[in-house]
Amino acid sequence: MEQYITFAELNDFIFCPMSLYYHSMFKSRNTQTFQSIYQTAGKAAHKSVDQKRLTTRKEIIQSLEVYSEKYNLLGKIDTYDSKTKHLIERKRKINRIYDGYVFQLYAQYFSMIEMGYEVEKISFYSIKDHKFYIQVLPYENPIMLKKFENTIKEMHEFIPDKYQQTNLNKCKNCIYSPLCAGGISC
């Protein structure tokens, strides 16, 4: 059986596969020693959802742990409105919708469906500017769905020693870049 993948790891892998390796190395350490200001701010923005304090409305499910057996994915949703059947992934500030964001939302969607929830609408919510970004459901975007499935396959087949980062701009924005061997892997 293949090891499960967390929703956050989908986004990390898209950014740089080596970041997963370094993230696992530092998992037990104080995050303040290596996280960027953006990651720290993002965690703070999620605090009300993680602690289920965003709302007291009964139809809003917050921070529910979910799992997809089909894709072997595990994680938490941010919010789901059972009345409108709307699944929402919250981000601190959205400037652009990256594939990794979409894959996280797809992972949540498939997990919710497998667990018996009805999901008719998926979107991102940008906390800082209070904007919703409605997304089409995975089956309505076959190209993105295929990219999602290929990414999961690539994650299971990934060999760190054979990886060469080709986008050095990613290295400039990577909190782990000082750890990479001269830009060879990151």
Summarize pLDDT for 81-139 with one digit per residue, the tens.
999 999 999 999 999 999 999 999 999 999 999 999 999 999 999 999 999 999 999 99
Alpha-carbon Rg for the chain in angstroms: 17
Tokens linked to 75 = 């994680």
- CB neighbours of 35 closer than 8 A, spacing ≥ 6? 43, 175
> For the chain, what are the domain ranges?
5-179
89: β partners: 124
Tokens 């919010």 found at:
79
* Encoded tokens for 164: 């060469």
**Residues 48-97: tens digit of each pLDDT:** 444 454 566 789 999 999 999 999 999 999 999 999 999 999 999 999 99
CATH number 3.40.50.720 is the correct assignment for the domain at 5-179: no
Relative orientation angle of helices 7-15 and 17-26, to the nearest 10 degrees: 120
